[in-house]
């Protein structure tokens, strides 16, 4: 199935989870993730099933002052 991860088109197998998408882009913690603009807690990444054309954002925190 086709999805967008950080505005980049990617292909994942049917039944893929948010954790699969994060692994595909090799994101290293810390990060936050959202699917279709809805935050998904880290505890749900492995169970959150993706659908075709989902938009996934993986965001790293910005620190500074």
Residue by residue, pLDDT tens for the chain (65 residues) are 999 999 999 999 999 999 999 999 999 999 999 999 999 999 999 999 999 999 999 999 887 76
d(CA 46, CA 64): 31
Domains and CATH numbers, the chain: 2-59 (3.10.20.30)
pTM for the full predicted model: 0.92
Q: Is the separation of the CB atoms in 45 and 37 below 8 Å?
A: no
Is residue 56 helix, strand or coil? Answer: strand
pLDDT of residue 64: 75
Q: Rounded to an integer, what distance in angstroms lies between the CA atom of residue 12 and that of residue 19?
A: 11
Torsion sign over Cα 43, 41, 54, 4: negative
Pairing of strands 55-59, 2-5: parallel
């Amino acid at each position: 199935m086709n999805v967008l991860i950080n505005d980049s088109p990617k292909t994942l197998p049917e039944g893929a989870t948010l954790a699969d998408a994060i692994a595909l882009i090799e994101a290293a913690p810390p990060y936050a993730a959202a699917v279709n603009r809805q935050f998904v807690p880290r505890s749900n990444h492995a169970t959150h099933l993706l659908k075709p054309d989902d938009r996934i954002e993986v965001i790293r925190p910005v620190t500074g002052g």
